[in-house]
Amino acid sequence: QVQLVESGGGLVQAGGSLRLSCAASGRTFSTFGVGWFRQAPGKEREFVAVINWTGGIKSYADSVKGRFTISRDNTKNTVYLQMNSLNPEDTATYYCAATMENNPTPYQQDYHPWGQGTQVTVSS
């Protein structure tokens, strides 16, 4: 069974950067993809980015393309989300989740399990 733990959230000013980490344990890390999702207060959880098990396939939501970069280090069992040019609309709780899909999707039902989330707050 996979366990995922997010870290790296915090408070940042608009235009700033943060790097989120998703550390995995419990299963060979290089056998599954990892996605990032976020949920803002009063809104539904939405897809942000995903990377497949090799790191060769990446996909992003239109709202973060060109600003966010997803990557993975299989030697450290960790997936990263580098977030640049942050704006207040990026404020949310960010979750990582595992997917066994060879061609990862943006659909939440394809992801299990999920981490507990890390809060990102961007001030204007």
* Edge-to-edge strand list for the sheet holding 58-60: 10-13, 118-123, 92-99, 33-39, 46-51, 58-60
The answer for residues whose C-beta is within 8 angstroms of residue 57's C-beta and 6 or more apart is: 33, 51, 103, 104
What does each C-alpha distance from 87 to 62, 92, 122 come to in angstroms? 15, 11, 6
Q: What is the pLDDT of residues 20-78, one digit of tens each?
A: 999 998 878 788 999 999 999 999 999 999 999 999 999 999 999 999 999 999 999 99
Rounded to whole angstroms, the Cα distance separating 123 from 88 reads 6
